Structure 1
């Protein structure tokens, strides 16, 4: 049986967590993916060569406005932060209208709420699938991979809400930005590193995210959500704050975190539509 001929589908590329193009984390979105199989989606995601590509589908459960599947260059994720915000923005731009006050996204991690604050979007942090301190042997290995002594790691935790993030805290933002890691020491680990900015600088802390294959992610919503949950579990935090990420990659990632009166953590930022057209799939 001959393979079906590719057809044009609506396509968008966005920059997420930045107010200007080419300053945040790029995302590709295929907006008409209802008849695509997993192999098709994986092929497109590998071809775009971005950290994530998403595929919009009709919802399959009551209460959802749409369903999204999130693919990296090598596999599918149940949830990821910048794909959630970028997909919601692309869906709205294409004419999507939420049934209720908030957008409700269906994904592998369940239903994720996305709220609109003017032009800015924010997602409700999903529950952590794994939390608590890392094993000491793993902390030692991570420190070696980051090129710092074990004593430089002040605190550590799982921050896994789907992708599998671990997080370690250094003394400050300067130490985070000075890292020159050898990720061959931790080839399979997803490691976030955070350090607080000096008081009065505006943003609360700086983040870097290192993924398998020696890749540094520009701006990482899922990790930022996990860090926020970890920090709130440790003690009192402001009702809202800003974190920076991507500085070491010449990006301008700004992640806005807030906690509402119910205790829900919202992770948001700007999204910029950079490419709009069609893709043959």
Structure 2
């Protein structure tokens, strides 16, 4: 029997038991693919990460990300939290890391306090914004347990968008609808069956304007995440998509998520136009919670 060290971190928060939980295996050498998936299912968190030596020595590490049912090409809070864990071991002394992921290289900027302690990180999405298909407001409303009139379509209809991670459906809703929304598993399954282009995947990122910022909720029940308290790989396409709609050259946007779950999270995003397309970043704080060993 082998033992493998792990730590858990709360991400996109400055206090324990807020933000989004993450399990990190800082040295995953010798852990097989099936074992990684089994460990992710056992932790039953939205994601678990496994750190391996980089394939290119110019990079800091290779990071594999698993949700409860599959490996992911990129995800936001796992990248931020894993970067924080790696910084505790001494990597990133110059304030930067480069993480190899399936979707590409994730550039990391470490955040430090006045005493020099790493408190969090910001990561750049590995790909430019890609805007995909539009979905009927009626179908999306049913998935969120809402009425079609709860979906705000003045600026855009529900739209798929991604920048390296799984595509998210970006949905503007009313204030009352954001509070009342709940995922309806049957409607998710019917919508996926009616739209083969979704490839069997469907995640909703509901949002509403809140002053200069945004309040958001994310539902992905088909992957076992009934609701997610902080979704970096949805925050970056939302920031990029809103910049796309505005016509501006760059923007900053703070997104509050997880309030309805009792795990308030703050995701600080930026987006800018570049020659390769709209690029976005997301950052936030990290707090350690648990450490231990898994037996394999």
Structure 2 residue runs of 5 or longer lacking an equivalent are: 113-118, 190-200
Deviations 1:188-222 (A, max 9, x none): 5211111111x3xxx61111100024611111000
Residue 103 of structure 1 is aligned with which of 75, 88, 97? 97
1:30 CA displacement: 0.8
Aligned equivalent of 2:146: 148
1:260 CA displacement: 6.5
Aligned equivalent of 2:165: 162
Cα distance between partner residues in 1 of 2:21 and 2:13: 10
Aligned equivalent of 1:223: 234
| Bigger proportion of residues as strand | 2
Aligned equivalent of 1:64: 59
Matched, 1:13 2:8: yes
Cα distance between partner residues in 2 of 1:151 and 1:237: 32
Checking the alignment, whether the CA contact within 8 Å between 1:184 and 1:214 is kept in structure 2 is no
Cα distance between partner residues in 2 of 1:260 and 1:147: 34
Cα distance between partner residues in 1 of 2:87 and 2:225: 34
Aligned equivalent of 2:259: 247
TM-score (norm 1): 0.87
RMSD, matched Cα: 2.2
1:157 CA displacement: 1.5
Cα distance between partner residues in 1 of 2:225 and 2:279: 33
Aligned equivalent of 2:29: 34
Cα distance between partner residues in 1 of 2:65 and 2:35: 13
Aligned equivalent of 2:294: 279
Matched, 1:91 2:89: no
Aligned residues: 268
1:165 CA displacement: 1.3
TM-score (norm 2): 0.83
Deviations 1:98-149 (A, max 9, x none): 6x6521000111101010232330001232574144143xx32111222333
Structure 1 residue runs of 5 or longer lacking an equivalent are: none
Aligned equivalent of 2:194: none
Bigger mean CA offset, 175-184 vs 54-63:
175-184
Kindly tell me: are residues 177 and 278 of structure 1, through their superposed partners in 2, closer, same or farther at Cα, counting changes over 3 Å?
same
Aligned equivalent of 1:114: 108
* SS state at 2:134 partner: coil
Matched, 1:77 2:72: yes
* SS state at 2:131 partner: coil
1:248 CA displacement: 0.9
1:94 CA displacement: 2.5
